[in-house]
Amino acid sequence: MKNPLSAAVKRASFPSPMANLLAHLFFFISGLTFGIIICFHFKSFSFNLQVTNGQFSIITEQPSSPPPPPPPSLMHGMRDEELLWKASMAPKIQEFPFKRVPKIAFMFLTKGPVVLAPLWDRFFKGSQGLYSIYVHSDPSFNGSEPEGSVFYGRRIAGKEVQWGNVNMVEAERRLLANALLDFSNQYFVLLSESCIPLYNFSTIYSHLMESSHNFVESYDLPGPVGRGRYSQEMGPTITLDKWRKGSQWFQIDRNLAMEIISDKTYFPVFQNYCSGSCYADEHYLPTFVSMKFGERNANRTLTWVDWSRGGPHPSKFIRTDITKEFLEKMRSGSSCEYNGAKTNICFLFARKFTLNALDRLLRFAPSVMHFDN
């Protein structure tokens, strides 16, 4: 396009007075127009600049808070003493130098594979960044989960665990310590291979994150399978009136997780004097937590279980047990307190379910448990 300014300069060189006047007039008008255009441009330019600045400042929030440090490798090779010591470190500065999205650590204590893995895969789908998974299985197990599974590569270095032995609690502490190394983990859930979720991820996430309590089942039980398991040698650190019982399947926050792995007073008493028919896994946390951190404990677990058939082990559920009614009963058939108010959401997880129940659990998951948005 022709430049109006250079055209005006050419006209201004016309010799006649009339042409001169016209040229001056033209100069004046084009100058005015030019001024107006420049003025308008400048205004919109400064407006654009402000908008760009606004966007710029939003974008720069992120560079000034860099991504969280990657969680340490699960294959760190640390001995238990070293691992517990490292995990017991808490930052003195309360603000995080990165944008911390709190995650839930789902810790699976298993013998072999996570048998209900396909159900959990479905449960976690679409919630990346809000959870971490840790699996502690027997060292003799050498299978691995398929690459597409959320469990793939999430096994920690485990040691042998015997039912009822104090080494079961050692395994729980090992799981907690590994999960604590990731600063984003805020809530910690202990599960077995036979556990299932009763609600979808978003419901479980907010129920745990918004809870003002920890969920470590703890009660005083007279008789042989309660107080009868106490040993006088545990005194004076632990006295009979402080002895508690409860399920090992807990849901706890970061502070309590930290206290548990750092306990060098009460846990050694269990390691030394709780053997045979003492069952440390049913007494250590219920006793320790009620003695030291009782006020913030709900004293109940969020893991549903059925003891109604009696015996040392709770009921196992198979394919034909899985109905819509049964699932609804576990989800909302009880009454309890949550953050000081009455609720019928008392259980978020349930056990014990067999591999043979998997297909029906998968079938009911979308309609009853609201999996898949």
Distances (CA, A) of 316 to 107, 160, 192, 319: 21, 24, 13, 10
* Among 245, 315, 296, 241, residue whose Cα is nearest residue 274: 245
Q: Are 96 and 344 spatial neighbours (Cβ–Cβ below 8 Å)?
A: no
- Kind and range of the H or E run holding 10: helix 4-12
Contact stretch for ligand NAG (CB under 6 A) within 17-25, 268-276, 292-300, 301-309: 292-300
* Among 366, 355, 352, residue whose Cα is nearest residue 324: 366
Q: Are 61 and 30 spatial neighbours (Cβ–Cβ below 8 Å)?
A: no
Nearer of residues 25 and 240 to ligand NAG, judged by Cβ: 240
Contact stretch for ligand NAG (CB under 6 A) within 129-137, 161-169, 173-181, 294-302: 294-302
Options 290, 304, 305, 368; binder of ligand NAG; rule CB under 6 A: 290
Residue 13 CB neighbour total at 10 angstroms: 9
Contact stretch for ligand NAG (CB under 6 A) within 6-14, 98-106, 152-160, 291-299: 291-299
Which DSSP letter does residue 298 get?
-
Nearer of residues 61 and 295 to ligand NAG, judged by Cβ: 295
| Interaction between residue 299 and ligand NAG (CB under 6 A) | yes
Contact stretch for ligand NAG (CB under 6 A) within 156-164, 178-186, 224-232, 287-295: 287-295
| Interaction between residue 208 and ligand NAG (CB under 6 A) | no
Nearer of residues 171 and 204 to ligand NAG, judged by Cβ: 204
For 28, residues 6+ apart whose C-beta sits below 8 A from its C-beta are none
- Residue 362 exposed, middle or buried by CB count within 10 Å (0-12, 13-18, 19+): middle
Tell me which residue has its CB nearest to ligand NAG. Answer: 294
Query: What is the smallest separation between the CB atom of 317 and ligand NAG, expressed in angstroms?
Result: 21
Positions 175 through 204 that interact with ligand NAG (CB under 6 A): 199-200, 202-203
Residue 15, SS3? coil
| Interaction between residue 373 and ligand NAG (CB under 6 A) | yes
Query: What is the smallest separation between the CB atom of 298 and ligand NAG, expressed in angstroms?
Result: 5
Nearer of residues 178 and 243 to ligand NAG, judged by Cβ: 243
Start-end of H helices in 143-222? 166-180, 201-209
Query: What is the smallest separation between the CB atom of 371 and ligand NAG, expressed in angstroms?
Result: 7
For 303, residues 6+ apart whose C-beta sits below 8 A from its C-beta are 191, 195, 247, 249, 251, 347, 348, 349, 350, 351
Positions 313 through 372 that interact with ligand NAG (CB under 6 A): 370
Positions 123 through 142 that interact with ligand NAG (CB under 6 A): 142
Query: What is the smallest separation between the CB atom of 147 and ligand NAG, expressed in angstroms?
Result: 18
Options 118, 153, 226, 294; binder of ligand NAG; rule CB under 6 A: 294
Task: Identify the residue whose tokens are 């130098």.
Answer: 97
| Interaction between residue 298 and ligand NAG (CB under 6 A) | yes
Options 79, 295, 308, 311; binder of ligand NAG; rule CB under 6 A: 295
370 is written with which tokens? 């609201």
Residue 341 CB neighbour total at 10 angstroms: 6
Residue 31, SS3? helix
Binding site residues, ligand NAG, CB under 6 A: 142-143, 199-200, 202-203, 290, 294-295, 297-299, 370, 373
